[in-house]
Structure 1
């Protein structure tokens, strides 16, 4: 089959009634290149929008149209369009005729457009979509993931049926089973030769097999071939080796069709004694739950954006990603395959009971099987995927009928893919929702006085722990847990010890947890073989659910969801543009991945109010030693270390030393008089220095530094280069302030796809060429047009010399 990128030249506009117009826009107007986030383009408002849950973005209904030629040679082919994701309720028309639809906004789907084509003429495809009052977070909208055109022979491999498994393997030999469906749409019976060739990451042939299949007219049958790789290179976290399998269908040496896929050779098992084992080695999941948006790019998904996210997540110490709460993109799966990140891919955030006014629950009873099928078809050949999740915090999960739905879902997954683990992210607050008032009264009766939102979140943490450990939840967990291979619990670590005796064969993991409790949780994970790991909420900050982890002081509104113009949740270890926050460094220390101490500070308030880490909110500290305050002002300083002691050295003089872990494991706090210069944190263990870290006072910001993740723009119109922008002084030290307005311009075959900062309280338009830095940082994303040539990007700010970056667009075709 011929599979090509089909992302260029789409006309875009609001969906209008056929009584008003057929065409969305004139041929030269509103032309966009996919992926495209329609919701991002529609803007935000305090009133009449989706509210705090979706970042105050306005909902909408949109149409995309594309004109294309269908050559006469296509008359003896089958033509389909593959959509990786359209949010949501996608309806596809070809030349005005209904051709297909898909309800779920996160599933990939295929539409056969052959019956509707006018061969030898120009044709029009239209895709309608909508979003609004249907999501608990920023969903994006429109055709936000790539689109492909597939043209196949009448005798062909059925798209998305090529599947590779490796059921038997050791260091000497790996059995590789290749399975695919072949269809014969010719009017005669055909006997066909089928061949499978396997190559390694260097393109060297390592195995192969051939067979034969006979198909009657109109018949579709599976073909399965076994091949054997000698001395296989296993796919693992540190050595993510990949192979490519190519299946070819031919007759008398005439190739009729071919398809290919990458895959990895690895084994996977789980039990309560040895835990999760990858290639026979126990692995604890250091997990990050992530939503699907790309910050300033909105929901639009690109291979380069996904790869950048995966690189930064792994560099921060994570070895696993949970898609929250919808199927992960193909681009992100490819990145995880390539880098060695494990994936828990999640199907649904709701089943039959809604969480929003017009969400997927209305479509679930009719569509769930097709969505599960699409999930497994997408994931099957990705070695990174180890767990399927059938749902997140499903409201009806603790009821008998809800548990029955869970069984149907789990069995559907197992029937399609018995090689992986099935789970469900269960939440006690939903399972016991009818008893919450009673349980809350117990917590209220023995809690301290609630002085504000920070104290309230602490009480919520206690309530969740008590609910999850209750006998009621234990009883109601029995049926839904029994449908699963492993049990995922959101904020449910208090359940592990309770069930250790009654359910010694039950295997758990934390599918979602408070980031501020990682020190306690990780001790539980490492001490219990039947607890596989933990996924924090969240690994990367996201749009919507605004203000979840924000710092709330007495003068601020004491509400959980923040008011407009808040745009982000601010509960991620990594912020909207990819910078690690202090919580991330604390987590890395807890995981035992570094002995280098992390040091940060905060300016004390006149009222000496301190925000203690609770729920999703970490302490309000910054890795800076540049403060607008008088010298000798006491500054709160904290360091995170695996050592047992940390010394603080100010301008060469030791000014403080103390033990680690008195208040919280791996933490030491102190007050140090502010003096311009350098502050070092030196970690010790048993009197021996482990490592040290330093903060330096920044001078006045003097220039703009740009760090590009590549100097080449590849991948055609889907390729990206990320430019990380920093305000720095003459020595290159980052300046956290004052912030300044930036303007980005460019020349050459590229466009500015996105520009913005990690500021969670902003009215900046990420599609604009101007933005304000936030704590001295911003991000510009450059996208290719498909043409080759030099690109010049200029960043301008008043009072700074222009900074210019030169890139080269290679003009290679877009990834497909």
Structure 2
């Protein structure tokens, strides 16, 4: 995959491995074989024929990962506003594969990184097991039913009850699948634990491992352990003769690392530990794992320290879907998103609200991105009718154990979260979750987002059982942090979901909009709170209007787009016109502006930091039909940054920057005063319009605002530090739409059938200036060694199928994703539109 946005190229970062484990060097040691290719799939089949007459069914050939819901069409009859109006159902997957005589003598397992949801698996007609959780991976040993030659895996995915989440969940085998082959004597990577104790410059590394022997008799073997630095040089090594009984064999080793290199946000230094087991002079198993050495500390007085340095968490909450990919997100797309967030200044991710794929943690390790690893959304009581709460009692211990054992060796993971705004929680359940994590991983704290049952679900009457107290929306309210800290000064605190601000790319309103009053959420409408602030007015941080009268009254939503036509939205309430699009000024929110929430966090040393809701727009949790997504992201669903992206850059980074908003193309508003806002981290900023100096303003932590009577032309903003020019941005008035611009960072792809290229489409005038309000219907055509994977534009009210080769531009932009085939050659992408000349892009596939 090639990354769309130019600033991805500005970051030189350590490469990551998308595999859960490295591949073995020879057939004599373990193999981890990618099992994604050449599956068959059928949706909603006659299930009686799956076993009796599978050949009579209309199977479709595909490669994994696969999300069938994202391939469907939006309909008000599909699910609800939470799940996102895309189809669910029951899907079957089958794959034939061959096993050799040599492999039959090994231990063979199949590893699923994630199947949504209620999966059942058979090998050669024999049932292997069922897992209801759609987010945690699982493994089945195949030896009992494996045979030489052709074998067949069948997987049933039951998502027939679509109300299974409070967001878009997707459907299918949407993560990687692996075939794992080991000798009967092997390192059990599931039980491996690496811990480090840092003392100034030196570290003590403890390694606890379990060697499994599937042989009936005791075996004499040799275990060699090497610790290597990133250059491959061995820094510590030990070789030991060991006697292995049948079953589990625990081994414990301690290594002193002198002048250890520490893993940090700026320098994510990774060591590698390599295990080698030999029997009778022959290497029978090799396994290696990256790990980092770092020290984390938490305090109710001073917050959080990483390697002894006080550090504020600049975090974002992240859902796992990625627009037109659904939840079957290519590794490189996920990696690109994390790099984009890193460039914004983000240093931490909250995995909202479930386990993320294994490769995510490898990426975060390599990027220096910290992680709050979240296990569950709710507990015993379902929050959506058909969600995991229906299975919690039976499966919580298995699933939580699998999560902690899988992720505890990643240096990026700094804390665990056991829930989010849990419905009807109990102290008993919270306690058993905390206790299990402390047993499996005593070195990290446990937190929880929102409702904390040890406080009676409101107020501050009792101290929390949690190691770190988490605050969701109430953390945005005046005095909440201070009141809790005064009552319990020894408890560390963090904003697990702070703040909740909204914005739609390219939309601006100068009057402050509060959600409850101006664009209420479905639950606020249902509870009769909508249209007024009620008791919230005294709790929120005030946001001044940018003008007395609304400058952009035309920014009202009255229609949505589907089947290539506009359809009226019934408007029955005073807030209806504001409901689906929100302002890109920092003035559309629940309780606080983004900048005020961060200022408040900085003012309080005992608040560890915050995780804003959210990083990207995400599918589901909509403002009811016909909206398809939530507008919380600082980046839209296509990956196009909104103005909030640059707001956070100004707050979270040191590299000098300036950013102006809104655009400067407002035909018909000549002479109307436009509030021009500048975000910066410079000492002072100067603004010019058409060569006229509009003045210089010092940056004192607040956004800078110039009220400018509109006239077409050129705005130039310059930023200064220490009197020196260090940053500059130019915004020009656009003419009429005249060209289609296609932007990518690469002109070649890999002929592997899975490489994807993101193409940013922009409507410009004759001079190449983007036309902010341009929204022509565009058609895309491809020839050669590729296909159109999908299209999107970031518009919450555009319900066009993602697989369509036609797409309207939204606020001048849309996205086309190309996927390569396995054939060498070229791809030509053509883009054409209403009264616009055809544009083409040639891509080499090699």
**Per-residue deviation at 1:122?**
3.6
State the match for 1:617 in structure 2. Answer: none
The unaligned stretches of length 5 or more in structure 2 are 1-29, 502-591
Which residue of the other structure, out of 674, 690, 693, is the alignment partner of 1:651?
690
Looking at structure 2, the residues matched to 228 and 783 of structure 1 have their Cα atoms a distance apart, in angstroms, of 48
Structure 1 equivalent of residue 27 of structure 2: none
Q: For each residue in 1:76-100, what CA deviation from the matched residue of structure 2 results, as whole angstroms up to 9, or x when unmatched? A: 1221111111111111111222101
Could you tell me how far 1:532 is from its partner in structure 2? 0.2
| Cα deviation digits, residues 94-135 of structure 1 (max 9, x gap) | 122210121111101111122122323343433433251111
Q: Which residue of 1 aligns with 2:759?
A: 723
Name the structure 1 match of 2:638: 577
Mapped to 1, the partners of 2:753 and 2:238 lie a distance apart of: 37
Which stretch shows the higher mean deviation, 181-190 or 721-730? 721-730
- Aligned counterpart, 2:558: none
Query: Is residue 795 of structure 2 the alignment partner of residue 756 of structure 1?
Result: no
Confirm or deny that 1:200 pairs with 2:229: yes
CA drift of 1:780 comes to: 2.6
Q: Is structure 2 residue 282 aligned with structure 1 residue 272?
A: no
Task: State the Cα distance separating 1:405 from its structure 2 match.
Answer: 0.7
Which secondary structure state, in structure 2, belongs to the residue aligned with residue 133 of structure 1?
coil
Please give the alpha-carbon distance, in whole angstroms, between the structure 1 residues aligned to 2:155 and 2:632: 38
Give me the whole-angstrom Cα distance separating, in 2, the residues matched to 1:61 and 1:599: 49
Cα deviations by residue, 1:566-590 (Å, 9 ceiling, x for unpaired): 2111111111111221222223323
How far apart are residue 306 of structure 1 and its match?
1.0
Residue 292 of structure 1 corresponds to: 320
Q: 5+ unaligned residues in a row in structure 1: which ranges?
A: 434-471, 547-560, 602-623, 810-816
Task: Map 1:590-669; keep pairs closer than 5 Å.
Answer: 590-591=651-652, 593=654, 595-601=656-662, 624-629=663-668, 631-642=670-681, 647-655=686-694, 666-669=702-705
| Partner residue, 2:715 | 679
**Any residues of structure 2 matched to 1:335-374 within 5 Å, and which?**
335-374=363-402
State the distance in 1 between where 2:226 and 2:751 align: 26
Query: Of 252, 257, 260, which aligns to 2:288?
Result: 260
CA distance in 2, matches of 1:425, 1:271: 18
CA contact (8 A) 1:748 1:789 kept: no
- TM-score, length basis structure 2: 0.80
Bigger shift: 583-592 or 330-339? 583-592
CA 1:132 to 1:324, structure 2 compared with 1: closer, same or farther past 3 Å? same
CA contact (8 A) 1:706 1:805 kept: no
In 2, the alpha carbon distance for the partners of 1:262 and 1:790 equals 37
| CA displacement at 1:670 relative to structure 2 | 4.0
State yes or no: 1:487 paired with 2:469.
yes
SS of alignment partner, residue 166 of structure 1 = strand
In the alignment, does 2:460 pair up with 1:474? yes
Q: Deviations over 1:316-341 (max 9, x none)?
A: 12111111101122222222112111
Which residues of 2 match residues 390-539 of structure 1 at below 5 A?
Answer: 390-397=418-425, 402-427=426-451, 472-475=458-461, 478=463, 481-482=464-465, 484-493=466-475, 494-513=479-498, 514-515=500-501, 516-539=592-615
Instruction: Indicate the RMSD between aligned Cα atoms, in angstroms.
Output: 2.7
Moved more, 770-779 or 316-325: 770-779
1:619 matched to which residue of 2?
A: none
Are the counterparts in 1 of residues 657 and 682 from structure 2 also a CA contact under 8 Å? no
Partners of 2:260 and 2:786 lie apart in 1 by 42
Q: CA deviation at 1:695?
A: 1.0
Residue 375 of structure 1 pairs with residue 403 of structure 2:
yes
1:409-460: CA deviation from partner (whole Å, max 9, x where unpaired):
1111111111222111123799767xxxxxxxxxxxxxxxxxxxxxxxxxxx
Q: Assess, with a 3 A threshold, how the Cα gap between structure 1 residues 748 and 6 changes in structure 2: closer, same or farther.
A: farther
Asked whether the 8 Å contact 2:74–2:86 carries over to 1, the reply is yes
- How far apart are the structure 1 equivalents of 2:454 and 2:753? 44
1:563 aligns with 2:625: yes
Query: What's 2:80 paired with?
Result: 51
User: 2:223, 2:242 within 8 Å by CA — same for their partners in 1?
Assistant: yes
Alignment partners' CA distance in 2, 1:340 and 1:677: 42
Q: 1:111 to 1:742 in 2, by over 3 A?
A: farther
Determine whether 1:334 maps to 2:396. Answer: no
Q: Is the 8 A contact 1:642 1:666 kept in 2?
A: no
Going from structure 1 to structure 2, the CA distance change for 1:687 and 1:383 (only over 3 Å counts) comes to: closer
Aligned equivalents of 1:426 and 1:715: distance in 2?
47
CA distance in 2: counterparts of 1:221 and 1:429, whole angstroms: 40
Contact 1:87 1:139 in 2 (8 A): yes
Q: CA deviation at 1:730?
A: 4.4
Counterpart selection for 1:589 from 614, 638, 650: 650
2:839 to 779, 799, 802: 802
Change (3 A) 1:377 1:808: farther
Cα distance in 2, alignment partners of residues 240 and 371 from structure 1: 29
Partner of 2:196: 166
Specify the alignment match of 1:311 in structure 2.
339
Considering Cα pairs closer than 8 Å and 6+ residues apart, tell me whether 1 or 2 has the greater RCO: 2
Distance 1:28 1:416 in 2: 46
Q: Deviations over 1:588-619 (max 9, x none)?
A: 32346455332113xxxxxxxxxxxxxxxxxx
Q: Give CA-to-partner distance per residue, 1:727-753, whole Å, 9 cap, x none.
A: 334444323242233344445554433
Matched, 1:92 2:74: no
Is 1:216 equivalent to 2:245 in the alignment? yes
Moved more, 135-144 or 774-783: 774-783
The CA distance in 2 between the partners of 1:44 and 1:430, in whole Å, is 42
CA distance in 2, matches of 1:426, 1:165: 30
Give the distance between the partners of 2:185 and 2:453, measured in 1 at CA: 53
Number of residue pairs matched by the alignment = 719
Q: How many Å separate the matches in 1 of 2:118 and 2:111?
A: 15
Q: Please list, as runs of the form range in 1=range in 2, the aligned pairs for 1:110-125 lying within 5 A after superposition.
A: 110-125=139-154
8 Å CA contact 1:40, 1:140 repeated in 2: yes
Alpha carbons 2:198, 2:294 under 8 Å: kept: no
The 3-state SS of whatever aligns with 2:640 is coil
CA distance in 2, matches of 1:186, 1:570: 56
How far does residue 778 in structure 1 lie from its aligned partner after superposition? 2.0
Alignment of 1:246 with 2:307, yes or no, is no
Counterpart-to-counterpart distance in 2, 1:356 and 1:183: 41
Q: Is the 8 A contact 1:209 1:227 kept in 2?
A: no
CA deviations on 1:645-665 (whole Å, 9 max, x unpaired) are: 65532101134666777xxx6
Residues of 2 paired with 1:24 and 1:407: CA distance?
48
Matched position secondary structure for 1:299: coil
Kept in 1: contact 2:617–2:631 (CA 8 A): yes
1:74 counterpart (103, 124, 145): 103
Alpha-carbon distance in structure 2 between the residues aligned to 1:806 and 1:430: 58
Check conservation: 1:427, 1:491, Cα contact below 8 A.
no
Cα deviation, residue 10, structure 1: 1.1
Of 29-38 and 420-429, more deviation after overlay is shown by 420-429
Counterparts in 2 of 1:24 and 1:39: CA distance versus 1, 3 Å: farther
The change in CA–CA distance for 1:746 and 1:178 in structure 2 (over 3 A counts) is farther
TM-score (normalizing by structure 1): 0.83
